[in-house]
């Protein structure tokens, strides 16, 4: 991590305010982008977010785990999974450890279509990241990891 430079309290306050606004702009832009993608895929934006959470959490989850990660009730996650399954994005497999439950897994074909849509954004992000030195990228990574770990705190 980079060493902290001393700053006046006014400078620090202005920097914190600017950073806070830019983080909010980034989040809003990402949400709006995901709404556009969901619309392109003829999918509900909440369903797309649940699919993302499934992919980000190792591609196999119990419905309750997925619901908790998305802030959905058990009934809410069931409805989302029904729609995703009907659209071909996921499948429910028997849980080998508990025959009363299932494991939700993404279907590779439809997920590849989704990944292709996001690939162009990823290429733009790679070009942006190339502007920074490794230690600056480490600082940015630390910021996002810490923010993600504390998002519900």
What CATH number has the domain bearing residue 79? 1.10.10.10
Residues 6 or more apart whose Cβ sits within 8 Å of residue 46: 70, 80
Which pair of tokens denotes residue 52? 């993302």
Q: Are residues 117 and 72 in the same domain?
A: no
Domains of the chain: total: 3
Q: Are residues 51 and 23 in the same domain?
A: no
Look at residue 125 and tell me whether its pLDDT is greater than 90. no
Q: Are residues 101 and 127 in the same domain?
A: no
What is the pLDDT confidence band of residue 138, given thresholds at 50, 70 and 90?
Answer: very high
In a domain, 86, yes or no: yes
Q: Would you call 30 helix, strand, or coil by DSSP?
A: helix
Q: Are residues 57 and 95 in the same domain?
A: yes
pTM higher than the cut 0.95: no
Percent of the chain at pLDDT > 70 equals 94
Look at residue 22 and tell me whether its pLDDT is greater than 80. yes
In a domain, 142, yes or no: yes
State the Cα–Cα distance between residues 104 and 95, nearest whole angstrom.
Answer: 9
What is the pLDDT confidence band of residue 139, given thresholds at 50, 70 and 90?
Answer: very high
Which pair of tokens denotes residue 153? 């705190």
In a domain, 25, yes or no: yes
- End-to-end CA distance of the chain: give it in Å, rounded: 23
C-alpha dist (Å) from residue 125 to 17, 27, 55, 98, 121: 24, 15, 19, 41, 6
In a domain, 68, yes or no: yes
Which domain covers residue 144, as residue numbers?
108-148
Q: Are residues 73 and 125 in the same domain?
A: no
State the Cα–Cα distance between residues 16 and 23, nearest whole angstrom.
Answer: 10
Q: Are residues 49 and 36 in the same domain?
A: no
State the Cα–Cα distance between residues 91 and 106, nearest whole angstrom.
Answer: 6
Q: Could you give phi then psi for residue 118, rounded to 5 degrees? A: -80, -20
Q: Are residues 27 and 61 in the same domain?
A: no
Q: Are residues 36 and 54 in the same domain?
A: no
State the Cα–Cα distance between residues 151 and 3, nearest whole angstrom.
Answer: 25
State the Cα–Cα distance between residues 48 and 64, nearest whole angstrom.
Answer: 17
For position 98, what pLDDT does the model report? 87
| pLDDT mean over 115-133 | 87
In a domain, 4, yes or no: no
């Amino acid at each position: 991590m980079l060493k902290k430079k001393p700053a006046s309290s006014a400078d620090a306050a202005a920097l914190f305010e600017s950073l806070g606004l830019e983080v909010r702009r980034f989040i809003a832009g990402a949400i709006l982008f995901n709404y556009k993608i969901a619309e392109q895929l003829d999918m509900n934006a909440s369903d797309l977010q649940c699919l993302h959470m499934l992919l980000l959490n190792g591609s196999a989850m119990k419905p309750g785990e997925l619901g908790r990660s998305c802030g959905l009730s058990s009934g809410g996650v069931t409805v989302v999974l029904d729609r995703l399954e009907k659209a071909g994005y996921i499948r429910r497999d028997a849980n080998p450890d508990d025959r009363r439950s299932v494991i939700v897994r993404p279907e590779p074909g439809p997920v590849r279509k989704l990944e292709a849509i996001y690939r162009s954004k990823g290429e733009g992000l790679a070009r942006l990241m190339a502007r920074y030195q490794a230690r600056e990228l480490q600082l940015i990574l630390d910021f996002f990891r810490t923010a993600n770990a504390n998002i519900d705190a």
